[in-house]
Amino acid sequence: MFSIFTYEFMRNALIAGALASIACGIIGTFVVSKRIVFMSGGIAHSAFGGIGLGYFLGIDPVLGALMFTAPVSVMLGMLSQKAKISEDSVIGIIWSMGMALGIVFIGLSKGYAPDLNSYLFGNILLVPQADLWIMLGLDLAIVAIVTVFFREFRSLCFDEEMSRVLGMPPGFLYILLLVMVALTVVILIRVVGIILVIALLTIPATMARQLTYSMPKMIIWSVALSFVFCFGGLLLSYWLDVASGATIILLAGSVFFIFLGIKKILAKRSQPALKQQ
């Protein structure tokens, strides 16, 4: 089984999956706990504008996505806090404008229209070594920020009012969290694509939340589950010769529903035992 990792592209794919799992597990925990999945979806889909910007400027589209999503996440955070319109409306507008800008930039780019499938749906088997260094740098930034502000982020997720009473700046922390979501989206684009980012952000973290109430343990579980899904999906996609990003998400979703089913069965079996006591 492991003989396939003698190929460089498979080794790059495995490293990409590990790097993506770190960011996904950490930030996914906060996304699920803070209940900002839809906000994360808006940031993810706006990244398409950055992909188009990258092609238009003639730079790595992943760097273009980074240049685009970070300011967009700040804008989303500020508008959701200060604008007198509903948050979901703001997300919908930014979401659609980001996608539209991507189409316009690609149309204005010189030369052949690029194949966008790997950015929309992911292809972990085609991650170049240059992108691995970008992913590593973004991972280090995320780990450093979370290490410094972990207590504040935990307070923001579970009791925003209390964090305000304790003198923490919830507005700044919220925007900083959205910026880290943007960094994670950029990391995940090459693995599962813009369309499927939200699934990998939420499925491992949601499963981890069923296993523990401790946020540090939840992060560990989420990182581990993310890696299992990336590694398993990578192998399945290679053996079955199907799309890697979709395979990773289908594996994650299938395991999630099997997990829920087993948990429900175990809960039903424990009820008679409790009644007898």
Tens of pLDDT, residues 29-44: 999 999 888 888 889 9
Q: Which has more confidence, 242 or 269?
A: 242
Q: Is the pLDDT of residue 271 over 70?
A: no
CATH of domain 2-276: 1.10.3470.10
Q: Which of 8, 11, 13 is nearest to 244 (CA)?
A: 13
Can you tell me the distance from the alpha carbon of 71 to that of 77, in angstroms, rounded to the nearest whole number? 10
pTM above 0.85, yes or no: yes
Please report the pLDDT score of residue 218 as a whole number. 95
| CA–CA dist 190, 197 (Å, integer) | 10
pLDDT of residue 1 exceeding 70:
no
Q: Report the C-alpha gap between 163 and 159 in whole angstroms.
A: 6
| Cα 112 to Cα 217: distance, rounded to the nearest angstrom | 48
Q: Mean of the pLDDT values across residues 51-70?
A: 90
Indicate the domain borders of the chain. Answer: 2-276
Nearest to 99 by CA among 160, 50, 28: 50
Structure tokens at 236: 């399945």
237/251 Cα distance (integer angstroms)? 10
Identify the pLDDT of residue 2.
Answer: 63
pLDDT of residue 123: 82
Give the residue from 218, 216, 209 showing the smallest Cα distance to 259: 209
